[in-house]
């Protein structure tokens, strides 16, 4: 029988700390997750919360961390102050040491990214890591990456994003050959940024195994669910994600305002709500995908999941469940294999040459 | 008494041609616009529609154009085939010759952009033109640019976008000193793409006259209406705009689906609708800003407005009204003045040097 998976949880992460993170872990167990936990944080604070959840208590070990990274620390400061001693670092390091198979934190994104990179290192033949989110679409969910791990991407990095996104989609979406699209300003082959066109040519001419490359996708194609994996450079990806969240929030604000001002609107809404509920929940998922699902760091030698800083216990539980899935199916190994095949012809100097080719 | 403004209308533009464009011009007059029209297109087709609108007939001249640019023509093809002979070119050329003060087309965006550039030329000290849209926000409207005129922007071009957007905001929003923000992945000064950080420094250290620079804005800040003018490079801007439209359409799709499936949801909606109507219209404006308002070409020596290809008569009328406003307040002259002040210290070689500085 396989060992149950062990999750290293940064109990101090997020806007609410142990109160929410511990409740989230307990909720994941309630949902039926077969996992053990290493809980990193201020021992007194963690144990106080843990006392409420005997089932979780029986499956966890608490490890005291003297330091908690603050939500607004710069990554460099967090690394300098929090290396080895912070709950965030210790959770990531547990993955490195093999004591846990996934690290989950609702803490400072930049700091978590920096620690994951420094502690776990980047996967061979992958130059830079990425941050992937799940995007609620009309057809279900899609993976969108990079939503802000790095800024600027040459053609080779865009191909790596496609490889990493497809590996994640195979696990999360359960699709054997995920469809992949490059986000661009038009669907025609002649349009768009040079590096995006070059990446498209690379993906067409040498399709990496295990993906079905479908060409360009426009901004309004994401929500339609045109492809399983949407690839975009991190600056644009981050802005795109936040704009979609902002637009969905805007819709909520309009509706709330109408309800607040008009009695009959409230009556109508109360009648419609039980039936429109699924629609409203889907809408909420668009308004804040990160609250409903953890973002996944791709490209480092270990599974690291970022839960939303403002996540409630449900959000943390979802992030833990995603971490579990990624660990069970060994996401880093899948990316390592795919990258090795895709970049098989690259030696040392040759790899450098190919990189600058791709960037032209 | 000032002369009424004359609008050059590409009657063949858009998905529906003269049927919609002529009705749009007539609607603008009904709305009380004091404008004359030059109508370019197939004379028979245009006159057939014009017969329905005697008021418009009395204020227009029809000029036969032998050629109509197709919606899917490449810009280079449109220029080669349509130069001088197409309704689109002739409308733009009327502005150049001073026969009209604004050109309006619902045709092929790329072709219109190419013709505006070739025929009208770029304003002195502005390197590249931009496409600006009006974005429905929780606080009213904001100007977002560039939404796809050019791909890639160095710091100097971002500053030019700020200058052009502020000039447009003064006219459209009626704000004397519009607030301006740069779209970025975070609000902190240390974050983001290098050229965005450099542009921010330029705008802080040498604030161009007539704007209130507010620093960085994130994607979810657009819909909140945090600033009057949101500046972004064209690739990211285009994707951002289309993603917002896609997200709003997604919301409509969820709601329609809920209404289709559930009787009580329909009853509730019918009760709520009269009160939620304003909210729903605001939402529609988010779902398709270009359908409700023309996009404006900034940075060329003349007023050129792009109406949405799928616009109805209302959309075309709005685009014409925007063209009227821009012509009345002489947008190109305002941009010329602002650019001259902002780049006053640049001679020939000096200007080149400053450009490469900014790009670093």
The pLDDT of residue B186 is 78
pLDDT bin (cut points 50, 70, 90) of residue A270 is: low
Residue B22 has pLDDT above 60, yes or no: yes
For an interface test with B, give the residue of A251, A253, A284 to mutate (most B CBs within 10 A).
A251
Spatial distance between the Cα atoms of A49 and A54, rounded to a whole number of angstroms: 10
Summarize the confidence of residues A136-149 as an average pLDDT.
Answer: 91
- Write the pLDDT tens digit of every residue in B178-233: 999 999 997 776 678 899 999 999 999 988 988 999 999 999 999 999 999 999 99
- What is the average pLDDT across A269-285? 65
Q: Give the percent of chain A with pLDDT over 70.
A: 84
Contact criterion met (CB < 8 Å) for B221 and A272: no
d(CA B145, CA A60): 52
**Mean pLDDT of all residues in chain A?**
88
Query: What percent of chain B is modeled with pLDDT above 90?
Result: 66
Give the residue on B whose Cα is nearest the Cα of A182.
B239
Residue A262: band (very low, low, confident or very high) from pLDDT cuts 50, 70, 90: low
Instruction: Spell A336-357 as b/e; 16+ CB within 10 A means b.
Output: bbbbeebbeebeeeeeeebbee
B283-309 tens-digit pLDDT: 666 656 555 568 999 999 999 999 988
B137: which chain A residues are within 8 Å (Cβ-Cβ)? Answer: 250
CA gap B160, B166 in Å, rounded: 10
pLDDT tops 70 at residue A124: yes
Got the DSSP string for A116-152? HHHHH-BPTT--S-EEEEEEEETTEEEEEE-SSSSS-
pTM, rounded to two decimals: 0.88
Work out the minimum CA distance from B289 to partner chain A, whole angstroms.
13
Nearest-by-CA chain A residue for B194: A151
Partners of B236 on chain A (C-beta within 8 Å) are 235-236, 239-240
Residue bearing the bigger pLDDT, B97 or B356: B97
The three-class DSSP label of residue B305 is: strand
Q: How far is it, in rounded angstroms, from Cα B79 to Cα B96? A: 16
Which residues of chain B neighbour A269 with C-beta distances below 8 Å?
Answer: 268, 272
CA pair distance A253, B286, nearest whole angstrom = 13
How close B203 comes to chain A (CA, Å)? 21
Q: How confident is the model at residue B267 (pLDDT cuts 50, 70, 90)?
A: low
How close, in Å, is residue A218 to chain B by CA atoms?
Answer: 7
By Cβ distance, the residue of A138, A258, A278 closest to B275 is: A258
Residue B157 host element (H or E): helix B155-172
Give the least confident one: A46-55, A219-228, B145-154, B182-191: B182-191
pLDDT averaged over every residue in chain B: 88
A309 token code pair: 């800083």
Q: What is the pLDDT of residue A348?
A: 44
Rounded distance, CA B102 to CA B94, Å? 8
Contact B17, B104 (CB under 8 A): no
CB A121 within 8 A of CB A86: no
Domains of chain B: 1-126+299-329 (3.40.718.10), 128-291+331-360 (3.40.718.10)
**Rounded to the nearest 10 degrees, how much is the dihedral formed by the CA atoms of B110, B111, B112, B115?**
120
Instruction: Name the percent of chain A lying above pLDDT 90.
Output: 66
Contact A258 B279 (CB under 8 A): yes
Q: pLDDT tens digit string along A322-333? A: 999 999 999 999
Question: CA separation (Å) from A221 to A138, A185, A230, B235, B359?
Answer: 10, 11, 9, 15, 32
Nearest to A276 among B192, B265, B270 (CB): B265
| Separation between Cα atoms, residue A1 and residue A125, nearest integer Å | 34
pLDDT above 80 for B271: no
> What value does the mean pLDDT take over residues A221-250?
93
CA distance A136 to chain B (A): 10
**Strand duo B212-217 + B5-10: pairing:** unpaired
For residues B24 and B91, give the distance between their C-alpha atoms in angstroms, rounded to a whole number.
16
Nearest CA in chain A to B271: A268
Q: What is the pLDDT of residue A334?
A: 93
A269 pLDDT more than 90 = no
B238, B242, B252: which to substitute to probe chain A, counting the most A Cβ within 10 Å? B242
pLDDT score of A113 more than 90: yes
The shortest C-alpha distance from B99 to chain A (Å) reads 34
- Considering A146-160, A182-196, B37-51, B67-81, the range whose residues carry the highest mean pLDDT is B37-51
């Amino acid at each position: 029988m396989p060992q149950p998976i062990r999750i290293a949880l940064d109990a101090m992460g997020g806007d609410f700390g142990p109160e929410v993170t511990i409740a989230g872990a307990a909720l994941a167990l309630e949902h039926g997750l077969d996992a053990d936990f290493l809980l990193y944080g201020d021992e007194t604070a963690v144990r106080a919360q843990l006392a409420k959840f005997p089932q979780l208590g029986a499956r966890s070990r608490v490890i005291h961390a003297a330091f908690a990274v603050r939500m607004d620390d710069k990554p460099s400061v967090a690394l300098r102050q929090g290396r080895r001693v912070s709950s965030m670092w210790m959770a990531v390091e547990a993955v490195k040491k093999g004591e846990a198979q996934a690290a989950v934190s609702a803490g400072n994104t930049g700091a978590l990214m920096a620690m994951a990179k420094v502690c776990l290192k980047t996967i061979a033949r992958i130059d830079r890591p990425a941050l992937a989110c799940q995007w609620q679409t009309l057809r279900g969910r899609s993976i969108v990456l990079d939503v802000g791990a790095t800024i600027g991407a040459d053609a080779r990095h865009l191909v790596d994003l496609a490889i990493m996104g497809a590996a994640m989609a195979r696990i999360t979406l359960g699709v054997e050959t995920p469809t992949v699209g490059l986000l661009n300003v038009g669907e025609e082959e002649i349009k768009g940024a040079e590096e995006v066109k070059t990446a498209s040519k690379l993906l067409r001419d040498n399709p990496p195994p295990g993906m079905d490359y479908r060409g360009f996708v426009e901004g309004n194609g994401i929500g339609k669910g045109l492809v399983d994996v949407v690839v975009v450079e991190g600056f644009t990806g981050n802005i795109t994600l936040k704009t979609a969240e902002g637009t969905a929030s805007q819709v909520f604000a309009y509706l709330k305002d109408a309800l607040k001002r008009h009695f009959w609107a409230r009556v109508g809404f109360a009648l419609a709500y039980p039936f429109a509920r699924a629609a409203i929940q889907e809408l909420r998922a668009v308004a804040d995908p990160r609250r409903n699902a953890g973002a996944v760091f791709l490209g480092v030698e270990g599974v690291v999941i970022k839960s939303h800083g403002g996540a409630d216990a449900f959000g943390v539980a979802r992030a833990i469940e995603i971490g579990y899935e990624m660990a069970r199916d060994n996401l880093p190994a899948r990316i390592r294999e795919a990258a090795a095949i895709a970049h098989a012809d690259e030696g040392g100097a040759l790899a450098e040459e190919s990189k600058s080719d791709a960037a032209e």
